[in-house]
Structure 1
Amino acid sequence: MTEQEIRELVAGQAERRALASAFYRDPDIYERDIDHIFMRSWLYAGHQSEIPEVGDWFLFEFAEESVIIVRSGEDEINALLNVCRHRGSRVCVEQKGCSKLLRCRYHGWSYDLKGRLRAAAHMPDSFDRSSIGLKKIHAEVLDGLIFINFAEEPGDFSSVRDGLADCLRPYRLEDTKVA
């Protein structure tokens, strides 16, 4: 279904009526919703207790994307696309782990916990490693809950924080642990 056909379907949708079946079943509408809604929204990715120590990481999988959620410092969590910048292979293949470096198994390229390229096998000495790190995704922590956003320029997280903080505070989620 083309973008124009989707717009026409939306425009023709009667208010207070069940949605046309295409809204539920059409793969093009599904992909459009993923791209226009979810890839631009703050998504819950996990809890900080899943990565208690520096070097701990886990994978967050959404749609076609794989993201490494890693504790890169005592009070620092990074979200990095799980795609090696050399040949596009997955850097992390297990669901979780702990390491000082994130190493691609394909050609051995290694990245630090902030996504900076540290070793690039088979590359000349003149190769500039500084500009080819793992792509960083926006990440925020609210009461122990880790949220990520794929957008280049995401909406301000303060609106999410303001909307959830009062609801979450009584549960003290920052002190909980995921088993």
Structure 2
Amino acid sequence: MLSQHDVHQRIAMRKKDFSLERALYCDPGVYAADLEQIFYREWLFAVPACELAKPGAYATMQVGACPVVVIRGKDMRIRAFHNVCRHRGQRLCSKVSGSTPNLVCPYHQWTYDLEGKLIFARDMGVDFDPARYGLKKVHCVDLGGVVYICLADVPPPVADLARTAMAYLAPSGLNEAKVAFSSTIIEKGNWKLVIENNRECYHCGGSHPSLCRTYSDNPRMTGMQSSEVAEDGILAHWKRCDAAGLPARFVHHPDFQWRLARIPLLDNAESFTMSTRAAVAKRMGQMPFNDAGSLLMYHYPNTWNHFLADHAITFRVLPISPTETEVTTNWLVHKDAVEGVDYDLKTLTEVWLTTNDEDRQVVEENQRGILSPAYEPGPYSVLQEEGVIQFIDWYCGLMGRRLAPQPAMAAQ
């Protein structure tokens, strides 16, 4: 098991534009460092806000050692708390999601309101002060319909992401949506392999025949390029979106921790369906036309998303061991869309259910190969795997800074 000093040295010695060495994809010490330096310190995508439609609606998530509950209060604000009773540490909510008028510990019935205040604790004596035992808060923001949490005492700045995401997501009307279907799978691979696999379509032609009916595997359509060097097809799409008041052009964090861009689908396809036509008759929010393409939004370390005219798909990645990752996918439709009338669930979900399973197999075979003593880092394609290079650069840059030895204090 590598120490954090060892992890820092391995990252410092990595070969640029090559995959990482074996230990960085499977060592328990690296996993612990990833949790401590990234997942316990960065903003993480939690849930689409519409999943928590009414007061008392909650969803839980496990971030490393930390169980978290995200809940909508009576004031309609969404908050997050450590899912741990202040009495003897029992988890308050054991289900993935649900609804409750108050948060009641199943062990001894300590009860908290939806804002985290302790409102009932039986037989605790006259000197007991309930105000000292409210739930421990987790930072929480709603960015135009996507909810993020941060476990750090002081979270990183989020204003630029908030401003950009809210502008780009506004036409999708995510707060006027509902979850039509949800899927959670476990991929037996390191979380970085899951993200790497998402960040390129080099593998799409050979692995995703259903997705490739509508989604271009041309790296110049989905790469990191600016408006000045974009392909004619995407430039024409952006101009059409501009005219309709639909934010579309590439915008990103200086270190590419996040990026948004709206890209056209193939041959004026409308949605991720086998027919290429819209899966839902009722459009999302204020989307102006069916073939608006997909608004791609990723945010490291744990999410990528597709926002289309007829529906949206959110993806959440959470590491659960050095070589296991939980991937949760939600399909969102307009809240007034009726299943069996406005959409068919199979038509809506079949492409990405299939794609997710194909990606699971790819990641698991990738992990099995990396576990071999014969594995050694290989070169990335600068053309096809630009997004992977950029993710690995972000990961190594962040980990390198945070694991760097601190200068010794000068003698007094």
Scaled by the length of structure 2, what TM-score is found?
0.42
CA distance in 1, matches of 2:14, 2:164: 30
Aligned amino acid, residue 45 of structure 1? A
Q: Tell me how many residue pairs correspond in the alignment.
A: 179
1:74/1:52 CA distance change after superposition, 3 Å: farther
User: CA shift at 1:164, angstroms?
Assistant: 2.6
For residues 79 and 166 of structure 1, what CA distance do their matches in structure 2 show? 24
SS of 1:161 mapped into structure 2? helix
The CA deviation at 1:60 is: 2.2
The structure-2 alpha-carbon separation of the partners of 1:118 and 1:74, relative to structure 1 and needing over 3 Å to count, comes to closer
Question: 2:101 aligned with 1:100, yes or no?
Answer: yes
Query: Is 1:9 equivalent to 2:1 in the alignment?
Result: no
Match of 1:25 in 2: 26
For residues 138-159 of structure 1, give each alpha carbon's deviation from its aligned partner in whole angstroms, at most 9, with x where no partner exists. Answer: 1111121111111111012212
Alpha-carbon displacement from aligned partner over 1:77-114 (angstroms, at most 9, x marks no partner) = 11011001111110112222222211111111111111
Structure with bigger strand share is 1
Q: Describe the superposition over 1:13-36 as per-residue Cα deviations: whole angstroms up to 9, x where unpaired.
A: 222233110110101101111211
1:24-103 counterparts in 2 under 5 A? 24-103=25-104
Number of the residue aligned with 2:162: 161
Q: Deviations over 1:133-179 (max 9, x none)?
A: 11110111112111111111101221221343343234332222112
Query: After superposition, where does 1:130-149 map in structure 2 within 5 Å?
Result: 130-149=131-150
The residue aligned with 2:391 is none
8 Å Cα contact 2:39/2:63 also seen in 1: no
Alpha-carbon displacement from aligned partner over 1:111-134 (angstroms, at most 9, x marks no partner): 111111111123112101101111
RMSD value over aligned CA atoms?
1.6
Q: In structure 1, how many angstroms separate the alpha carbons of the residues matched to 2:78 and 2:166?
A: 19
1:148 partner SS: strand
Change beyond 3 A, Cα 1:6–1:141: same
CA contact (8 A) 2:50 2:174 kept: no
- Counting aligned pairs with the same residue, the percent is 34
CA distance in 2, matches of 1:155, 1:58: 23
- 1:128 aligns with 129
Aligned residue identity for 1:17: F
Q: Which amino acid aligns with 1:20?
A: E
Partner of 1:177: 178
Cα–Cα, structure 1 residues 34 and 92, in superposed 2: closer, same or farther, change >3 Å? same
Equivalent residue, structure 1, for 2:117: 116
Conserved? CA contact 1:40–1:154, under 8 Å: yes
Q: Aligned partner of 1:8: which letter?
A: Q
Q: TM-score, normalised by structure 1?
A: 0.92
Provide the rounded CA distance (Å) in 2 between the counterparts of 1:48 and 1:78.
Answer: 11
Q: Hey, what's the Cα distance between the residues in 1 that align with 2:5 and 2:157?
A: 30
Gaps of 5+ in 2: 181-412
Q: Which runs of 4+ in 1 moved over 6 A?
A: none
- Which secondary structure state, in structure 2, belongs to the residue aligned with residue 85 of structure 1? coil
Taking the aligned partners of 1:4 and 1:144, their CA distance within structure 2 comes to 39
Q: Which has the larger radius of gyration?
A: 2
8 Å contact from structure 1 (residues 53, 74) kept in 2: no
CA contact (8 A) 2:144 2:165 kept: no
Mapped contact 2:103–2:112 kept (Cα < 8 A): yes
| Alpha-carbon displacement from aligned partner over 1:26-67 (angstroms, at most 9, x marks no partner) | 011011112111221111111222121112212122222221
Paired with 1:158 and 1:75, the residues of 2 have a C-alpha distance of: 21
Asked whether the 8 Å contact 1:78–1:139 carries over to 2, the reply is yes
The one-letter code of the counterpart of 2:107 is Y
